[in-house]
Chains A and B, each alone.
Chain A
């Protein structure tokens, strides 16, 4: 079945440093979504990418979908303590109504 891996599993940064998480699928995706889960909370939808090579920005967050539609990345510029949480990518493969979630990257930000 489809597998979606993320690296790193965990990253600890100082506030103001940049952060990147990478997402790799074993199969080509029709689209990819990103979610954020704060500690003790539930996943919250951030964004969706659909086109090959697509890049989208949300303030300090930059999302990219690979040319082959099998990988994606999330980059956060100048992290803040409010960025703390686990970031998940999730891909739609053959069935549009089902998502396969990545393993997640937990981000810790300290002052």
Chain B
């Protein structure tokens, strides 16, 4: 497996509180992604990064922000968590040096907002 870790792996939080999820890679890959996975929806892209301090929105970015100050770290922040953000969050990386852009996923973070 690619060197990707996510922290925390599980979190329960209350509505209205801020939450930050961390993705850390040791592969020096350029691209990093945050997805959420919900039953019946597959994997939906929240935000992605194509370099340090270079980020862009995905299809479900409302209520989320991201930051990437170092190649190896990509942070996802829920400024004020809502129950609709209860989900499993996956970080992924890919290397623009390859032709295929296949993505390698982290183990996921299960977030519950009560």
Q: How far is the CA of A33 from the CA of B98 in the complex (A)?
A: 14
What per-residue 1/0 map shows which CB atoms of A27-45 lie under 8 Å from chain B? 0000101000000011111
Q: How far is the CB of B23 from chain A (nearest CB, A)?
A: 12
Contact in complex: A43, B43 (CB < 8 Å):
yes
Contact in complex: B45, A98 (CB < 8 Å):
yes
Interface residue count on the B side (C-beta < 8 Å): 25
Which chain A positions have C-beta within 8 A of B92?
43
Q: Interface size bucket, A side?
A: 20 to 34
Are A48 and B100 also in contact (CB < 8 A) when A97-B50, A98-B45, A101-B44 are?
yes
A residues whose Cβ falls under 8 Å from a Cβ of B: 1, 6, 9, 31, 33, 41-45, 48, 88, 90, 92, 96-104
